[in-house]
Amino acid sequence: MSVRQLWEGSDSAKWLKELDGKTKLIVLFSFAILTIVIDNPRTLFILFTASIGLHLVGKTSLQKLQVLALLLLLGLWGSMFSQALFFSQTPRTPLFTIISPGLPILGTITEGLFVYKEGLIYGAVQGLRSATMLSIGLLVCWSSDPRQLLKALVSWKMIPQVAFMLVTAIRFLPVLVAEASEVLVALRLRSNTKIGRNSIIRHLPYIAKPLLARCLRRAQTLALSVVSRGFFLDNSSKYGYKWSNTEKIFSWTLILLVVLISSFKLVYIASEYGFYYGDLRIIYDWTKIYL
C-alpha cells in the first residue's frame, strides 16, 4: 500500500462507502457532542470502544489500523504524561518524584516536579475524548469520497466556498503526505543516503521549501479548475439527491438521543446551582452514574 493510499478511503466496506454524506457527518457531530457532555470514564471508554468497533465492522485495513493505533497511543500518552506532571487541582497524590524540591537550582526554580495520580486519571479521561474524535474522524475520512461530503454540506445550505474549503482540506491530507514522501525520496537520492530513520531525520529541515512550492502549484491548478467549471456560480440544486429513508430515520434517532442526553446533563448541572426538583430525581441519579 502506497503512502497516498494509506490516507485515502479506498478499501473500506462497501456499505460504509455507500453511506450518505449527511449520515456520516451527523454521526461525526453526535460523537463530538457526546465526548463533551460525558464525563464518566467508563461511559467515555464505551464510546471510544464503539468508534474502534466501527473501524472493525467497516473493514479498515490493517495498515490503517496500525497508523490509527500509533496516533491514539501518542495522543493518550501525551495527555496522561502532561497532566501527571502539571496537574494543579487538589487533592494531589504524588506517585514518585522526578525533581526533588531540595535539589540545588532546579529544585528551587521548579519547587519540585512530581508525577501525580489524579493527573494520570484526568489525563486519561481527556485523552479518551481526543482519541474518540480522532478515531471517528479518521473513519469518516477513510470511508468517504470528498464529493459525498461536499454534496451533504451544500444540501444543508452551507456557503459553497466554505463547503469546498472544508472538503478540500480533507482531500489535501493524502496528497500532502504523498508529496512529502516524494520530496524525501528526492532529497535522499541527491545526497546518496540509505533508507532509514536517520536519513528521514537528516532531511526533515530541508523539506519545507520544496513541499511548499509543490503545494502552491497544486493550489493554483485547483483554483483554475474550480473557476473554469463555474462551481461557485451553481446553485445547490445541482447537488440535490435522495437521502434514503433508512439512513434518515437512523440519523434523526441519533440526533434525538444526543439531544436527550445533553438535556439530562443540563438538568443535572442546573440542580447543582439550586434548581432542584424532586420529580426529576431519577434523571439526576442516572446522569450522575452514567454521565
pLDDT digits (tens, 9 = 90+) for 192-207: 666 655 666 666 666 7
Quick one: pLDDT at residue 256?
Answer: 94
128 with 150, same domain: the answer is no
pLDDT the model gives residue 231: 59
Among 99-103, 115-119, 185-189, 234-238, the range scoring the smallest mean pLDDT is 234-238
Q: What is the pLDDT of residues 194-253, one digit of tens each?
A: 665 566 666 666 677 777 777 777 777 776 766 666 555 555 445 455 778 888 888 899
What local confidence, expressed as pLDDT, does residue 65 receive? Answer: 84
Last residue of a domain, one of 116, 144, 172: 144
Query: What is the Cβ-side half-sphere exposure of residue 243, based on CA atoms within 13 angstroms?
Result: 19
User: Once rounded to an integer, what is the mean pLDDT over residues 84-93?
Assistant: 76
Question: CA-CA distance, 229 to 223, in Å (whole number)?
Answer: 10
Q: Are residues 58 and 159 in the same domain?
A: no
Spatial CA neighbour of 250 closest among 12, 5, 30, 13: 30
What backbone phi and psi angles, to 5 degrees, belong to 115? -105, 120
Q: Alpha-carbon distance 46 to 256, whole Å?
A: 19
Query: Average model confidence (pLDDT) for the chain?
Result: 77
Model pLDDT, residue 202: 66
Instruction: Examine the fold and report which residue of 124, 144, 164 is the final residue of a domain before the chain moves on.
Output: 144
User: Taking a C-beta distance cutoff of 8 angstroms, is the pair 35, 47 a contact?
Assistant: yes
Question: Do both 120 and 14 map to the same domain?
Answer: yes
Does residue 31 have a pLDDT over 80?
Answer: yes
140 with 160, same domain? no
More confident position, 248 or 9: 248
**Residues 149-167: pLDDT tens digits?**
777 777 777 777 777 777 7
Measured between alpha carbons, how far is residue 183 from residues 65, 172, 177, 187, 248 in Å?
Answer: 25, 16, 10, 6, 44
Q: Which three cell numbers stand for residue 251?
A: 440519523
Query: Given this model, what pLDDT does residue 153 score?
Result: 78
Share of the chain above pLDDT 90, in %: 2
Both 152 and 253 in one domain: the answer is no
Stretch 174-190: mean pLDDT: 73
d(CA 24, CA 137): 10
pLDDT exceeds cutoff 80 at 108: no
Q: Say whether both 118 and 256 belong to one domain.
A: no
Query: What integer pLDDT is reported at residue 283 of this predicted model?
Result: 84
pLDDT above 70 coverage of the chain, percent: 80
> Is the model's pLDDT at 2 over the cut of 90?
no
Say how far apart CA 284 and CA 50 lie, in whole Å. 25
Long-range contacts of 4-7 (CB under 8 A, 24+ apart): 4/174, 4/175, 4/177, 4/178, 5/174, 6/63, 6/64, 6/67, 6/174, 6/177, 7/141, 7/142, 7/173, 7/174, 7/177
Whether residue 86 has pLDDT greater than 80:
no
Q: Check whether residue 50 and residue 136 sit in a common domain.
A: yes
When divided into structural domains, the chain yields a total of 3
Q: Tell me, what's the pLDDT at 224?
A: 72
- Out of 9-13, 22-26, 153-157, 172-176, which region has the weakest mean confidence (pLDDT)? 9-13
- Residue 12 in contact with residue 60, Cβ under 8 Å? yes
Shared domain for 198 and 275, answered yes or no, is no
| Residue 139, pLDDT score | 86
Same domain, 28 and 109: yes
Domain that holds residue 201: 145-243
Residue 70 burial by Cβ neighbours in a 10 Å radius (0-12, 13-18, 19+)? exposed
Task: State whether 162 and 23 are in the same domain.
Answer: no
Please give the average per-residue pLDDT across 66-75, as a whole number: 85
Residues 107 and 21 in one domain: yes
Same domain, 15 and 130: yes
